[in-house]
């Protein structure tokens, strides 16, 4: 499962990490340059380029939706 999102500030990055840390399965965040970070890792998330939308990727649709909704 994949969801595209636009991140505009650091609080949104923290919300992704906090929601992902409560998930059992892995959630990946992919930027437009091809870099991939574990959504549970604040250092990994900070290494991504947010000038373009990023992709949230997970095998578990419910957990992906939970992380996606943490931004709204």
Range of the domain at 48: 2-69
Structurally, how many domains does the chain consist of? 1
CATH code, 60: 3.30.1340.10
Provide the pLDDT for residue 46: 96
pLDDT above 90: residue 72: no
Give the model confidence (pLDDT) of 40-57 as tens digits.
Answer: 999 999 999 999 999 999
Q: Band of the pLDDT at 13, cuts 50, 70, 90?
A: very high
pTM of the model: 0.92
Q: Convert the chain into a string of H (helix), E (strand) and C (coil).
A: CEEEECCCCHHHHHHHHHHHHCCCCCCEEECCCCCEEECCCHHHHHCCCCCCCEEEECCCHHHHHHHHHCCC
In angstroms, the CA 26 to CA 37 distance is: 10
């Amino acid at each position: 499962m994949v969801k595209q999102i636009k991140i505009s500030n650091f609080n949104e990055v923290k919300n992704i990490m906090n929601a992902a840390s409560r998930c059992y399965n892995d959630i990946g965040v992919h930027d437009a340059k091809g870099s991939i970070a574990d959504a549970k890792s604040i250092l990994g998330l900070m290494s991504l380029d947010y000038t373009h939308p990023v992709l949230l990727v997970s095998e578990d649709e419910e957990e992906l939706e939970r992380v996606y909704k943490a931004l709204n």
